[in-house]
Amino acid sequence: MIFDLKSGKRRRVVQIVFGFLAVIFFLGFVGFGIGGDVSGGIFDALGFGSGDTGSSSPQYEEQIEDAETTLETDPTNGQALAELARYNALSARENGIETDPMTGVTTIAEDARSDLEESVAAWERYLDTKPRSPDASVAVLISQAYRYLEDFDRAAVAQEIVAEEQGSFLSYLLLARDYYSEGEIKRGDAAGDRAVAAADASQRASVRKETDALAKLARELKERLEKQREQGGAAGGAAIEDPFSGLGAGGESAPAPVP
């Protein structure tokens, strides 16, 4: 992690800026008419289209219990761990994750946060089994779960699996945003280039425009945070200013919006 996020104020600035831009990207693609016939689909790439989304919450509980029963006698069962990760992530969406379509602000209920934490914990155990080909359909849900938990570093790891499987420009765009959110500029640039390459010829100019905007914002944010950190150290702890307050992303108390 390049950004120093130990400061609550600095962390909030990063969360607000990239969460805000994620919403702008989503609306921008819809406005450009992009995403309707994309490999993997716009909602798959954003983490809303995989898994048994038609199931009810009690059915998630049944699946979770089945996986846990298997793991009691076989704690390294990869399939059971993947299912535990999948259905906890789906359960979280049923238990209280809401995003205001006007402001992009996401709220997460306590039960939903608990489900998210259980989901990513199961995913980490799953990866520890060294699967030859990690389940991309679960990775879609997990990458989003990490974003809800504001862990963009691990979100990028899961999103890499998704992008390699889907090969869609949206999946690479999200990977770029995750890298930029961690201050990984070069990796973000590389993912952005792959997003452009993956787009149809008629879409590439629009995709390039979006990736360039994200890259520019990431660089400005990194530069300003570094300057503020230096000034804070020299002055014995100067207040950290929101470098993008003019973008309308909200104040310090606004949660980071997640698409």
Q: How confident is the model at residue 233 (pLDDT cuts 50, 70, 90)?
A: low
- Among the ranges 58-72, 79-93, 95-109, 230-244, which has the highest mean pLDDT value? 79-93
Look at residue 8 in the predicted model and tell me its pLDDT.
52
- Region 198-223 average pLDDT: 88
Q: Round the average pLDDT of the chain to a whole number and report it.
A: 75
99: helix, strand or coil: strand
Query: Does the pLDDT value for residue 244 go beyond 90?
Result: no
β-partners of residue 99 are 106
Look at residue 95 in the predicted model and tell me its pLDDT.
81
Q: Which of 251, 207, 243 is nearest to 42 (CA)?
A: 207
- pLDDT (tens digit, 9 = 90+) per residue, 159-191? 999 999 999 998 999 899 889 888 889 999 999
Angle between helices 152-166 and 169-181 (to 10 degrees): 160
Look at residue 5 in the predicted model and tell me its pLDDT.
46
Q: Are 196 and 208 in contact (CB under 8 A)?
A: yes
Query: Does the pLDDT value for residue 196 go beyond 80?
Result: yes
Q: List all residues 6 or more positions away from 154 whose beta carbon is below 8 Å from its beta carbon.
A: 120, 146
All structural domains of the chain: 8-247 (1.25.40)
- What single DSSP character describes residue 239? P
- Region 146-160 average pLDDT: 92
Rounded-to-integer distance, Cα 162 and Cα 139, Å: 6
pTM tops 0.85, yes or no: no
Query: Does the pLDDT value for residue 197 go beyond 90?
Result: yes
Look at residue 58 in the predicted model and tell me its pLDDT.
66
